[in-house]
Chains A and B, each alone.
Chain A
Amino acid sequence: MTRKQKRLAVIAGGMSFILVAVLLVMFAFSQSVAYFFMPADLAKSDVKPGTRIRLGGLVAEGSVKRGQGSTVSFTVTDGTGSVPVTYTGILPDLFREGQGVVTEGAFDAASHGFVADSVLAKHDENYMPKEVADRLKAQGVWNEGQGNQGQGSQGQPDGAKGTATR
């Protein structure tokens, strides 16, 4: 091979690696990205059972029921609609009735209920997940002054950790 051909081969190799990376990223986005919904949205759009979504809203007062073992059921509401959710596992420290929550999972085809595999009670200083707070404020169901007893942002969803000062 001449030097020119060698250089071409190297560039082609590099380009194909980048191409593979781009395809992989696009594929991964189509596969593993979860969209955010609130109960009211679900009435408007058609989410098929088995599709992974994030469901956010307030935990309805009096709806938390502990079943067998570590299975918990509760209702997520946003004032307009409400969705029953079941979850098996340990709830975050900050999970409580009347407060905001984001759950991730999919609708069950048989029971039409939402089966969550992770529950996030990831709060900003107003005890409200950001996505949920934005929407509830827009709908006027909730405002900043409410639920203000907790300071500091904290929360441990099945996928978040705290390292506070970066």
Chain B
Amino acid sequence: MARLSIEHLRKVYGEFTAVDDCSIDITEGEFLVLLGPSGCGKTTTLRMVAGFIQPTAGRITIGERDVTGLPPWKRNCGLVFQSYALFPHMTVAENVAFGLEMRKIAPADRGPRVTEALRLVRLTGLDERYPRQLSGGQQQRVALARALATEPDVLLLDEPLSNLDAKLRQEVRVEIRDLQRKLGLTTIMVTHDQEEALTMADRLVVMEKGKVRQIGTQRELYEKPADRFVAGFIGRSAFLEGEATGGRFRSEGGLDIACKAATAGPATLALRPERLAIGTEAEACANRFPARVEHVSYLGALLDIDVRLTEQDRILLQVPNRQGAAEPRPGDMITIGWAEDAGLVYPREP
């Protein structure tokens, strides 16, 4: 295993910039997730690391090796494809042995390593099957075993779980994570599934329109999102548009809100739904406003409540479901409140 470093990576297709000045450092044994909406450049970045796309500019280093100009077959990256990409004309054992064969490992030594790789992914006794005779989950494991058997310097996962059904996805998620920890694999995973990203990653990279928006742990991204995009993309946020002036925020609807704003001028105030209080709990808050309940969604443990503060200002809040207690109903007037530090202010994006 090795550390991986991506420096000022850039990929331009004609007029379109797929990846723009992307720099990421991944330490040895770290599980890094590239997260973003489709078309954000995360897959392009992964494919540049694997060597299938030649970057327009920038540098990729694996351990001490500069691999930027190397073809895919000289990079020693194990890639698990979204479609698994198993060789249909080879058995499970032959699929897993392929990488060993390419590394000129003697046939006698391949067997034990194939067995070991299949044991790691808990897939024994299927060596002589063909991929078409396996379920999606089993194919996924073979793809993983095939990548692991070669003992790659870095493991790359391209949406590895997106073709599995929901229940299996949960299981495999935990398995991959355990395996990655146990073997100390330096890993990059690409996904658009936020929950998957949050449960698996040591650190996450949020990308949008080819740019890295923020790199950090789950807590950093959720509690201190770097910009409005991250605040909206990781978890949920309610947004109020308005003007910031030192320590205050005036919404479009005329609300005067206490906040810790560093900026001045046109701005957006982001509020996490669970930081909002209602009724008597709101009384101690620095910001208190009357609001009309527009819609209530019952989610079991939680209630999602849409409220309207003014004509322009709407907020989503989330309160625990205290069974038996009086629940707000559409049309009710309630008081909502939040602490001064609950609102995050971002300059308005063009």
Q: Do A and B come from one complex?
A: no
